[in-house]
Amino acid sequence: MLYFIADFYYHKAKLVVEIDGDSHKCQMEYDNGRTAEIEEFGITVIRFTNEEVLNYLEKVVNKIKEYLIIE
């Protein structure tokens, strides 16, 4: 069994929010595999870049809210 530490996890919604820095550009395959393994537990993973959070925080928050309303 593998263990992962998520940036943010909301148990009630089974939602992981990941904030990816520049280092993630070089590990996309690893991140995709990690996401797939997490999703096997019925958990949804939403990813944002640091730039999105810094420059478009309102859009990031709205995307998270949209997911929570849908679920």
What is the DSSP track for 2-42?
-----SEEETTTTEEEEEE-GGGGG-HHHHHHHHHHHHTTT
Measured between its terminal Cα atoms, the distance across the chain in Å is: 28
Average pLDDT on 27-51 reads: 88
* Alpha-carbon gap, residue 70 to 55, rounded angstroms: 25
Q: Where do we find the tokens 């859009």?
A: 59
Structure tokens at 62: 């709205």
Band (43; pLDDT cuts 50, 70, 90): very high
Q: pLDDT for 14-31, tens place per residue?
A: 999 999 876 656 567 777
| Share of residues in the chain with pLDDT > 70 (%) | 86
Whether this model's pTM surpasses 0.75: yes
> What pLDDT does residue 33 have?
83
